[in-house]
Amino acid sequence: MKAPSLAKIEGVYSVAPETADSWRDAHGKAPFVRGPYEKMYQQKPWTIRQYAGFEGALETNAFFKRALSQGQTGLSVAFDLPTHLGFDSDHDLAAADVGRTGVAIDSVEDMAVLFDGIDLGNVSVSMTMNGAVLPIMACFIVAAEEQGVAPDKLSGTIQNDILKEYIARNTYIHSPDFSMGVVSDVVAYCSAHMPRFNSMSISGYHFQEAGASPELELALTMANARAYLTHFQQQGIDLEFVAKRLSFFFGLGMSFYKEVAKLRAARFLWSELLDEFSIRSENAKRLKMHCQTSGVSLTESSPLNNIVRTTIEAMAGVFGGTQSLHTNSYDEAISLPSDQASKVALETQFILQHETGIGDVVDPWGGSYMMESATQSMIEYVRTMQKNIETEGGVLALVASGQLTTFIHRQALQTAMDEEALNKKIVGKNCYQSPTSSPQHQRVIASDKTLLQQSKKLAQLKLKRDDGAVKRALQALQAAARSKQNLMPFTIDAIRVRATVGECIKALTDEASRYLKPEYIESAPFCTHLDADIVKRYQTLSSQLDRPLRFLIAKVGLDGHDRGAKVIVSLLRDLGIEVDYLPIFASIDDIIQQDAMCPYDGIGLSILSGAHIHFITQITQKIRTDCPIFVGGVIPTSDKNTLEKIGVEVVFTAKHSLNDIAISLYDTLVVATKI
């Protein structure tokens, strides 16, 4: 399948703006290009909703309370990877990742601590949860109930967008088929019992982070939205009612005009889509969105420059009319946000809201020929992509075959090549470089301590609870899955009697097993962008060995961010190296076994979760001593030396160009192969 190109002549969008007059339309009226509300921020500023979570519920609760007292207006929970994948903290596969990239929630007891002292009837809570959405929603509902807040009083959003997990984010548990049933169970339950709660956040953010352009991000998001509506309709769900509580989530990258146009076009397309489904409610047609500034646009070098990037991206979100906004912290290319960087990110939004007057004008770009034309170009791109997707069998077929993932991967490869060839300039990364100045404070996650605490709490929970009641509730949940009933009430019953998140998911995976999606990695002509000399040296090394070089690339642990790993696979293949790529969620033992079958010339591990020391310690203890190990990912400078002492040959981070990587690998391989 081919992507259409966004019509553009010398930087000016060339599609005649059919909607050129749309700037005369009233704000807050269908098709909502100019904003979902008449007075927009004049009536209510956007919600400042910073995504956060780390270590245990107690630590995150303290962070939330601080943020609220500082003026943040909504909460957004980041869960750790074991919780996303439905493993309790004491599960073998969870050990490295507990509390690292989010808070560890094993049961309703943790959820109660997470919101202790926070009135759930008053503060709206967003939860980024997809794979383990059933037990996490159930924990939230039961914790609120025990706080005295009934479900109908709860406001907030559950992400509950599984399609983009298969396409880009990778925290899915079951097959797409089973998971679509879970999505609609949550949507149906929320619409019946939680009228103030947004039952989905249909997300494009992760597509852009994985490599998609803003227009591809929008096209895939709208294609998924259509697939969900079709699915709900087939399930007999009343679209007129549920569509009011389907919200959206977009990324904000550095293509300023395109980002503003994307958000305007999104509202038009949603309104048009609901017309197609004969939905009459104006409120449902009003697309409401959360936006987050881009993580991949942040550089490791000169990190304070990231404050500028984030501010510009946030402004695109505000000009585009977002309802809710997260601004990234300047140190996120290096580590999880420190307190200092989180504070700057939060205060960036305060400055925008209180000092600039940026929200005083509704849709300030409306009527600009360029912006109306760009908006129309986006709309046409999405319509053409939708036709192409349908011709190829529709979203569900393309998700199952992995083709949409490949589509994004191709754009990621092109971006990597453009940066290497300086067609795309990134200050401090491929031009205007200066010596890296690390941020002074980096957040250190006490993962081992959190693991111990969580394991202790789980043991105590299991001692206190009524095991018989838990067993019966889990059996009922499993039976409901077998008989295809709505699983939400059964999960709530199980969580109420203190079944754990992991136990609920285990009951379900016994019925609908864990799933691993197919992976395809495209080739790309990287060598044309590298120094000719280095390409030649690889060829010579291979001829001297009289065999191709062999490499293994793997992601270890539960981290599914695979954009970088896949770019490296394509790069090495283009250099003539035979590369095996292990499916995501590999364990160190999987890698050792793979190497034992036919030893590699080098092994590269990609780790973005912060668990690098844990995994590298394990692999260097178990692997043969003459195997060079390379690591890539989000690695704080202070950990680089530790990793090298443990035995890693080279640590690669976002600051390395592909040419740097090719040269460093070559130098190590020459020594390792004893040529």
Q: Which residues bind ligand 2CP (CB under 6 A)?
A: 37, 39-40, 43-44, 47, 49, 51, 74, 76, 124, 126, 128, 155, 157, 196, 198, 201, 205, 247, 249, 288-290, 292, 323-324, 326
Task: Output the six-digit token pair for 118.
Answer: 């926070």
206 tagged catalytic: yes
Order of strands across the sheet with 125-127?
A: 51-52, 75-77, 125-127, 156-158, 197-198
| Rounded Cα–Cα distance for residues 341 and 328 (Å) | 9
88 tagged catalytic: no
Residue of 166, 205, 538, 600 marked catalytic? 205
Q: At 253, which helix (H) or strand (E)?
A: none
Shortest approach of ligand 2CP to residue 150 CB, angstroms? 16
Residue of 262, 561, 566, 614 marked catalytic? 561
Shortest approach of ligand 2CP to residue 72 CB, angstroms? 11
Shortest approach of ligand 2CP to residue 45 CB, angstroms? 8
Residue of 106, 559, 574, 601 marked catalytic? 559
Alpha carbon of residue 96 to chain centroid = 20
Task: Output the six-digit token pair for 604.
Answer: 């590269």
Q: Are 178 and 480 in contact (CB under 8 A)?
A: no
| Rounded Cα–Cα distance for residues 375 and 305 (Å) | 29
Task: Output the six-digit token pair for 253.
Answer: 């990258």
- Give which of 353, 296, 266 is closest to 48, Cα–Cα: 353
| Rounded Cα–Cα distance for residues 145 and 147 (Å) | 5
Dihedral of CA atoms 495, 501, 502, 507 in degrees, nearest 10, equals 50
If the CB atoms of residues 327 and 453 are measured against ligand 2CP, the closer one turns out to be 327
Residue of 8, 25, 29, 51 marked catalytic? 51
Residue of 164, 231, 457, 555 marked catalytic? 555
| Rounded Cα–Cα distance for residues 553 and 567 (Å) | 11
Check whether the bond before 31 is cis (ω within 30° of 0): yes
| Rounded Cα–Cα distance for residues 125 and 197 (Å) | 9
- As beta bridge partners, residue 602 has 551
- Give which of 78, 191, 186 is closest to 492, Cα–Cα: 186
If the CB atoms of residues 73 and 301 are measured against ligand 2CP, the closer one turns out to be 73
Shortest approach of ligand 2CP to residue 260 CB, angstroms? 17
- HSE, side-chain direction, 13 A CA sphere, residue 642: 12
Alpha carbon of residue 654 to chain centroid = 18
Shortest approach of ligand 2CP to residue 478 CB, angstroms? 29
Shortest approach of ligand 2CP to residue 39 CB, angstroms? 5
If the CB atoms of residues 195 and 599 are measured against ligand 2CP, the closer one turns out to be 195
List strand residue ranges (DSSP E) for 294-336, in order: 324-326
Phi-psi region of 394 (alpha: psi -120 to 50; beta: other; left: phi over 0): left
If the CB atoms of residues 37 and 64 are measured against ligand 2CP, the closer one turns out to be 37
If the CB atoms of residues 159 and 478 are measured against ligand 2CP, the closer one turns out to be 159
84 tagged catalytic: no
Shortest approach of ligand 2CP to residue 29 CB, angstroms? 13
- As beta bridge partners, residue 633 has 607
Residue of 174, 206, 409, 529 marked catalytic? 206
Q: Are 669 and 541 in contact (CB under 8 A)?
A: yes
Shortest approach of ligand 2CP to residue 325 CB, angstroms? 9
If the CB atoms of residues 32 and 249 are measured against ligand 2CP, the closer one turns out to be 249
Q: Is 339 exposed, middle or buried (0-12, 13-18, 19+ CB in 10 A)?
A: exposed
Grouping H, G, I as helix, E, B as strand and the rest as coil, residue 607 is strand
If the CB atoms of residues 40 and 279 are measured against ligand 2CP, the closer one turns out to be 40
List strand residue ranges (DSSP E) for 253-363, in order: 289-293, 324-326
Shortest approach of ligand 2CP to residue 76 CB, angstroms? 4
Query: Looking at the annotation, which residues are catalytic?
Result: 51, 205-206, 555, 559, 561
